[in-house]
Amino acid sequence: MRSDLLLHDMHSHLLPALDDGAKHIEDSLSLIRQLSALGYKKLITTPHVISGLYYNSADTIFPALEVLRAAVEKEGIPIELDAAAEYMMDDYFETLLADKTPLLTINGKYVLVEFSYVAHPPNYRTIFFDLKMAGYEPILAHPERYMYLHQQFEVYRELFETGILLQVNLLSLMGYYGSRVQKVAMQLLEEGLVHFIGSDVHHQKHIDTISGFEMNRSLEKLFDKGLLRNEQL
């Protein structure tokens, strides 16, 4: 059984050859076909933008989206496809912000950002402030995966209180990244700090894991805290 809240996904890597997600269009179609079979109705896919690795922008993302949309339609897969980006909060991202480069948004206002897995940006408060001043609503991707924050739960609360939206990975809730990440993901839900659940699907192994997802009472109760915005997408 799936939750209606999860029909709309806002975090994945399904556009071919743009990042470490789908490699070819056949990969993309296979992943999307399976996500559709799992019940998803809308996917807002989010290629990485990372300094030195993936300089994606509207110029790489939207043409790829058009090609994939046409292929999805041709295959008759009943799913809506859109795209934004997942920005690493690094020096390149700060350049984009300083230059006032329009960022790729989810639903016209949300900007999906991630921290490095080694340490959070020392100036994350300033960057979030600048993002908000520029009219964006920042969403921090998978806060539960930043192990250095596990012992600083107050940072999660601080982010929440300053209006940063938090997006937990469905894969985390299922234990894909280990029990510590799973525990923090659950704790974030229990404390009512989570605004979005994302799949963060990159490849088949992720689909295989998500396929085993079953809604249970305690999860349903956590999803019902009233904060989750997936269905508004």
**38 is written with which tokens?**
């799992």
Chain residues 79-138 in contact with Fe ion, contact rule CB under 5 A = 86
DSSP string, 161-212: HTT-EEEEEHHHHTTTT-HHHHHHHHHHHHTT---EEE--B-SHHHHHHHHT
Give 90 or 200: the residue with its C-beta nearer to Fe ion: 200
Is 144 a binder of Fe ion (CB under 5 A)? no
CB of 126 to Fe ion, least distance (A): 23
Q: How many residues bind Fe ion (CB under 5 A)?
A: 2
**To which H or E segment does residue 45 belong?**
strand 42-45
Give 86 or 144: the residue with its C-beta nearer to Fe ion: 86
Q: 75 with 34: CB under 8 angstroms?
A: no
Burial of 111 (0-12, 13-18, 19+ CB in 10 A): buried
Residue nearest to Fe ion (CB): 200
CB of 11 to Fe ion, least distance (A): 6
**10 is written with which tokens?**
């806002």
Give 9 or 156: the residue with its C-beta nearer to Fe ion: 9
Buried b (16+ CB within 10 A) or exposed e, 20-29: ebbeebebbb
Give 115 or 216: the residue with its C-beta nearer to Fe ion: 115
Chain residues 147-206 in contact with Fe ion, contact rule CB under 5 A = 200
Which residue bears the tokens 């990969």? 27
The residue range among 21-29, 35-43, 78-86, 216-224 that interacts with Fe ion, by the rule CB under 5 A, is: 78-86
Give 68 or 85: the residue with its C-beta nearer to Fe ion: 85
Tell me which residues touch Fe ion (CB under 5 A). Answer: 86, 200
